[in-house]
Structure 1
Amino acid sequence: MDIIAAVINNLKGKTKDELRNIIDDAVASKDESTIPGLGVVFSATWKHMSEVEKNQVMDYVDRGLKAT
């Protein structure tokens, strides 16, 4: 099984709260091994966003990178 399928398979069926906790934990840990999984989550989400939503996310990304 490839990493994309594995990540999606592991996250399917999780509640919003569970997903939030997984993402929060991955970001807080600063463990680089979580980066591919976060990328899969971002990619899967991005594919289902409208252009308006993508523009909003890009505002958040831009703001986050400038603050880092």
Structure 2
Amino acid sequence: MNNLDLRQAIVRRVQNKSGEELTDVIESSIGHDEKTLPGLGVLFEMIWKSSDASEQSRMVQSLYNELNGTEAAPPSPS
């Protein structure tokens, strides 16, 4: 299965689910079997692509804080 097929399969799996069902998919994937990581990556990719620059910056800030255990601003992008 190539990457495009994997992305399509993941999208098909969650398409037409309610907000509650999507939340369950995400929460049941976090911290569990590593096989779920590609699915979370595809979902994140979809969110990233549909986000404006300020939302992307907020996500990067949150990730930076998680990785560094701080609330400090991350370095500016180069």
Structure 2 unmatched runs, 5+? 70-78
Consecutive aligned runs of 4 or more in structure 1 exceeding 6 Å deviation: none
Per the normalisation by structure 1, the TM-score is 0.87
TM-score (norm 2): 0.77
Q: Report the counterpart of residue 53 of structure 2 in structure 1.
A: 51
| Residue of structure 2 aligned with 1:6, choices 5, 9, 16 | 9
**Higher relative contact order structure (alpha carbons within 8 Å, sequence separation ≥ 6):** 1
Aligned residues: 66
Report the alpha carbon displacement of residue 28 of structure 1 after superposing the two structures with TM.
3.4
Structure with the larger helix share: 1
Considering only aligned residues, what root-mean-square deviation do their CA atoms show, in Å? 1.3
Higher alpha-carbon Rg = 2
> Identity, % of aligned pairs?
30
